Chain A
Amino acid sequence: MFAVEVKGLVKDYGQFHAVKGISFDVKEGEVFGLIGPNGAGKTTTLRVLSTLLEISGGKVSIFGLDLKEQAGEVRKVISYLPEDAGAYRNMTGREYLDFMAGFFAPEKDPKKLLERGLEIVRLGERIDDKIETYSKGMARRLLVGRALMVEPKLAILDEITSGLDVVNAQAIRKVVRDRTKEGTTVLLSSHNMLEVELMCDRIALINDGVIVESGTPKELKERYKATNIEEVFVEVVK
């Protein structure tokens, strides 16, 4: 069974077609990257898969659950981290993790989730400070911790490192790789084509709402005789 199966997905905003019938699938346990420039339709696709937006056309199933018919069930197996997400600024980091963990009771033990969350976040004493005092890197760590503490079957992460400096970005990437080794499938998006080479088992290149190429980073580089994915992308959309 695929973790994610997308067939001919269409998403319109009113008259505007943001996603124009894309298809891809993500195997269980792999890290899959949706790569493309700004405005390509990555966020739109991930929001649809996270049950936030209605499907305009096509079919999506997540671990065999139909996205349209079983949205409630889908929400139990996914964890979504929005692009540029924030947290409730007047809570402390610990309160925030605790608040979010509570939603998963009684199926999952909120105490255990919180424990795991704290372990991922590693903010030390700052975890008891208000979130509004956090730096961008700390806030992102907290949010990644929130997304991964529930050990979701599928983590949907939108531009996790955008806006972060090199050190923070690398730390986040490491957390995501380490924490998803045991059984979590990852679907992520990025406009940073170099980053995905480091993180993804397979990628799909998306441009203007259409998937233009897909495969493992290695395959793609060989196919286009390129040294990195950026070159592949330029070659493909030419």
Chain B
Amino acid sequence: MSGPGRIMKKEIKELLTPATIVPIIIMAVLFASLGGAFNGVREQLENKPEFGLAVDDAGTFGILARESFNSTSNIIYNATSLQDGLQALQDGKCGQALVYIPGNYTANLMNNKTGWVDVYWMKKGTGLTASVQTALVQASITSMGKAVSTYMIVYGVTTNSSLILSPIQTYSTTYLNDKVMPGITPDQVDTVFTSSSLIVPLIVMLVVIMAGSMVINSMGSEKENKTLETLLTMPVKRTWIVFGKLAGATVVGLIVAGIYMIGMGYYLSSLMAGSTIDLAKYGLTLGMGDYVVIGVSLFLALLCGLALCMILGIFTKNFKAAQTMVLPVTMLAIIPMLISMFSDFNSLPLFLQIAVFAIPFSHPMFAFNNIMMGNYMIVFAGIAYMAVFALAAMFIAVYLFRKDILLTGRVRSAERKKGFSLINLPGWKK
């Protein structure tokens, strides 16, 4: 074989190892399943939207509205008073939204005034699925408006062209948990949510990858320089060596997280300065306790990542091998970050929920949204899970630190059979 060919073959052989391929395959499978989740969203788009309708107006346009909605949408609850409608919305009988046609609706339209339609949104999730639902309901209302325009032209209700072009307007009120936000659409809430809930996942991902590779690289270079052997013969408990290494990386990780947080917090606040709504006005902010919870979650995620990297580091032979060992951890950190960009935990299909829950780093990534949505259970379950995960990983690391594998790496028995013999000579000849 020619020179370049030989070199190429060697390079390919070195690069295509299970350590590099397996994470990529896992990544591909996860993306494929994420695609499945998006397909589900598309199917929703093709279905009629479901919502509740309360028509308090017995006039022509009230009847027209009811007919229009019945043809374009699936009206799952019908009422004639706002009170009944809102009760049904609270009880979950209206799905995501209640459209209310007030009593003066026909009268307004007949008198050359805009017909106001009130929409009450019950916000249950953030992310793609939720915003698709919102858009569908809004589309139904738009097409109802067109029906009004047509009617006005056919029956010559008015000559006011601007009214004919947009005869109706909507006023939204959004309910989130027990909070009421008049004049706010769910989309606006989503915008604020996604931008603020983006920082934490990004920081978690960056910090886990950085601090994690630090631990693995440190193990790799300690093995390569044999400084690990020297360290292990010092009169120190192995447990303390493991904890010392972890603690060092944790401190660095937290410092880096702090720096990122300050930087990105500043970036975000300047971004938010132009934002139209201030969620804090509606009590939608995190309290001191919530920040502590997110902090604890982040700390534990970092610890899980580092302990995991320590275990991987134990199997690393040298600095070069350490580079590939970082890959699985990088993947584990990137996957939940990407998912958190598209969706919130509650809107994920069950198997993805399980996968996301199992990856310890995902918990702080979803913590912001979960706390905002009042899903404290998942947040605390995640913290408990991470605590157990970190402890177990540290326990395994300490255990492996006492084993030959720390210095010898994996021993492939098949390769080593050549020296097989049963002689057990006491070689001390006097």
- Which residues of A pack against B, CB within 8 Å? 7-8, 10, 13-18, 20-24, 47, 50-54, 57, 72, 75-76, 78-89, 100, 103-104, 107, 146, 204, 206, 209-214
Known interface pairs A16-B416, A87-B227; 9 further A-B residue pairs with C-beta atoms within 8 A, sorted by A's residue number:
A13-B411, A16-B411, A18-B419, A51-B233, A85-B227, A85-B230, A87-B225, A103-B234, A103-B235
Which are the 3 A-B pairs with shortest beta-carbon distances?
A211-B427, A86-B225, A16-B416
- Provide the residues of chain A in CB contact with B413, threshold 8 Å: 14-16
Contact of A17 among B236, B420, B426 (CB under 8 A): B420
Report the count of interface residues on B (CB-CB < 8 A): 32
B185: min CB distance to chain A, Å: 56
- Does B281 touch A at the CB level, under 8 Å? no
- Which residues of B pack against A, CB within 8 Å? 224-227, 229-230, 232-237, 403-404, 407-408, 411-413, 416-421, 423-429
Contact of A16 among B418, B426, B428 (CB under 8 A): B418
Contact yes or no, A53 B408, CB < 8 A: yes
Contact yes or no, B428 A52, CB < 8 A: no
- Provide the residues of chain B in CB contact with A206, threshold 8 Å: 427
- Provide the residues of chain B in CB contact with A84, threshold 8 Å: 226
Contact yes or no, B229 A24, CB < 8 A: no
A23: min CB distance to chain B, Å: 4
Interface of B is mostly: loop
With both beta carbons as reference points, the residue of chain A lying nearest to B417 in the complex is identified as A15
21 contacts between A and B (CB under 8 A): A13-B416, A14-B413, A20-B427, A21-B423, A21-B424, A22-B426, A22-B427, A23-B428, A52-B232, A52-B407, A53-B407, A72-B235, A75-B234, A82-B230, A85-B227, A86-B224, A88-B227, A103-B234, A103-B236, A204-B427, A204-B428
With both beta carbons as reference points, the residue of chain A lying nearest to B222 in the complex is identified as A88
A201: min CB distance to chain B, Å: 17
A203: min CB distance to chain B, Å: 13
- Provide the residues of chain B in CB contact with A72, threshold 8 Å: 235, 237
Residue among B224, B227, B428 having the largest count of chain A Cβ atoms under 10 Å: B428
Q: How far is the CA of A88 from the CA of B233 in the complex (A)?
A: 16
Q: How far is the CA of A210 from the CA of B234 in the complex (A)?
A: 29
Q: A15-B420, A214-B428 are in contact. Are A78 and B227 (CB under 8 A)?
A: no
- Provide the residues of chain A in CB contact with B404, threshold 8 Å: 13, 53-54
- Provide the residues of chain A in CB contact with B237, threshold 8 Å: 72
Q: A17-B419, A85-B230 are in contact. Are A213 and B235 (CB under 8 A)?
A: no
Contact yes or no, B416 A80, CB < 8 A: no
Q: How far is the CA of A211 from the CA of B418 in the complex (A)?
A: 20
Q: A16-B417, A54-B404, A100-B234 are in contact. Are A10 and B229 (CB under 8 A)?
A: no
Q: A16-B416, A17-B420 are in contact. Are A24 and B225 (CB under 8 A)?
A: no
With both beta carbons as reference points, the residue of chain B lying nearest to A86 in the complex is identified as B225
Contact yes or no, A89 B423, CB < 8 A: no
Contact of B427 among A18, A21, A76, A146 (CB under 8 A): A21
Q: A47-B229, A53-B408 are in contact. Are A210 and B423 (CB under 8 A)?
A: yes
Q: How far is the CA of A197 from the CA of B309 in the complex (A)?
A: 47
Q: A23-B427, A47-B407, A79-B233 are in contact. Are A17 and B226 (CB under 8 A)?
A: no
Q: How far is the CA of A21 from the CA of B236 in the complex (A)?
A: 30
- Provide the residues of chain A in CB contact with B229, threshold 8 Å: 47, 50, 52, 80, 82, 85
With both beta carbons as reference points, the residue of chain A lying nearest to B416 in the complex is identified as A16
Contact yes or no, B407 A210, CB < 8 A: no
Residue among A13, A51, A100, A210 having the largest count of chain B Cβ atoms under 10 Å: A13
Contact of A14 among B226, B232, B236, B412 (CB under 8 A): B412
- Provide the residues of chain B in CB contact with A103, threshold 8 Å: 234-236
Q: How far is the CA of A104 from the CA of B234 in the complex (A)?
A: 8
Residue among B412, B416, B423, B427 having the largest count of chain A Cβ atoms under 10 Å: B427
- Provide the residues of chain B in CB contact with A53, threshold 8 Å: 404, 407-408
With both beta carbons as reference points, the residue of chain B lying nearest to A211 in the complex is identified as B427
Q: How far is the CA of A48 from the CA of B256 in the complex (A)?
A: 40
Q: How far is the CA of A53 from the CA of B411 in the complex (A)?
A: 14
